[in-house]
Amino acid sequence: MRKQFVRTVEEVLSNDKKSVLLLGDIGVFGFRNSLLKYPDRVYNIGILEQSTISLAAGLAMHDFVPIVHTIAPFIVERALEQIKDDFGYQKLGGNFVSVGSSYDYAALGCTHHCPGDVGILKNVPEIEIVVPGHPEEFDRLFKQSYDNGRPTYFRLSENSNGESLKVKFGKANIVKRGKKATIIAVGPMLENVLRACRDLDVTILYYTTLNPFDSDTLKNNASSGTVIVCEPYYSGALDYDITEALAGRNTKIFHIGIKREFIRQFGKKEEIDELLGLTSENMENRIKKLIKS
């Protein structure tokens, strides 16, 4: 997905003279050509994330479209107030593209983990949140929304689904219809959900835009009364949206995601998946168990 990010932004930089890329000393090699080609619109700003976000807001005041890129915790957690005040409160448009989703940098420890990003940003009104599950989906979603005048967070993941879907910004995809439960699969969780549910009579809804949340698609496809949310970050970030969408209905909500605990082990992402019960086999067993219960 990172390579696609470079390709997509290179294209945007070429076509849109209002676009400005600000790197937090991350992705500098990937964007080496752009740094040379557009010295006035592509900057390796350095490791000062808070000021980078404010600086981006200053650019946005002059009708530029800033694209800020660094590792997730340094955007979302370190510079949260800048995102809230300088973009959200001020109604300015800009893009924040993170790498290192959840524990993609498993071996680097908790300082470089960020499973809280979606839940944290859900508490900033008017911030759009996009979690693509495939490089092509990033390309589509970014091009559909990057210059819409609103602040948008794009969460790049190291792992991707095998195939891309024709995703549309702000809309969920109905992947499969069934009777026993509605599974909400977010971004790169779809691959495992599809495998786990291949023989199950369930509805699968695929969400890549989490804010604004597509309430209608859920409302119209949740008649079973059971919703299982499979999300690649701390569980529960969508609960407010789900309960609002299904208000007045007798619905059970279950979560398959990341527990709110520090991951105090190192290793590879796949090893942490196993530790947290997020392998496809584990997910299949858990989904089947939940449907039976």
Residues at the contact surface with other proteins, assessed by CB under 8 A: 20, 40-41, 45-46, 48, 50-52, 54-64, 81-82, 85-86, 89-91
Nearer to other proteins among residue 64 and residue 74 (C-beta): 64
- Which residue type sits at 85? D
To other proteins, the closest distance from the beta carbon of 254 in angstroms equals 39
- Which residue type sits at 129? I
Nearer to other proteins among residue 123 and residue 243 (C-beta): 123
To other proteins, the closest distance from the beta carbon of 150 in angstroms equals 14
Nearer to other proteins among residue 6 and residue 48 (C-beta): 48
To other proteins, the closest distance from the beta carbon of 103 in angstroms equals 28
Point out which residues pair with 68 in neighbouring strands. Answer: 22, 96
Nearer to other proteins among residue 42 and residue 120 (C-beta): 42
To other proteins, the closest distance from the beta carbon of 65 in angstroms equals 11
Q: Locate all alpha helices (DSSP H) within the chain, ordered by sequence.
A: 2-15, 32-37, 49-60, 72-76, 80-82, 117-121, 135-145, 190-196, 215-219, 239-245, 269-275, 280-292
Nearer to other proteins among residue 52 and residue 102 (C-beta): 52
- How far is it, in rounded angstroms, from Cα 206 to Cα 217? 10
Nearer to other proteins among residue 9 and residue 56 (C-beta): 56
- How far is it, in rounded angstroms, from Cα 193 to Cα 176? 11
Contact present, 95 and 53 (Cβ < 8 Å): no
Point out which residues pair with 69 in neighbouring strands. Answer: 23, 97
3-state secondary structure of 111: helix
To other proteins, the closest distance from the beta carbon of 87 in angstroms equals 11
Kindly state the DSSP code that residue 208 receives in the 8-state scheme.
Answer: S
To other proteins, the closest distance from the beta carbon of 52 in angstroms equals 8
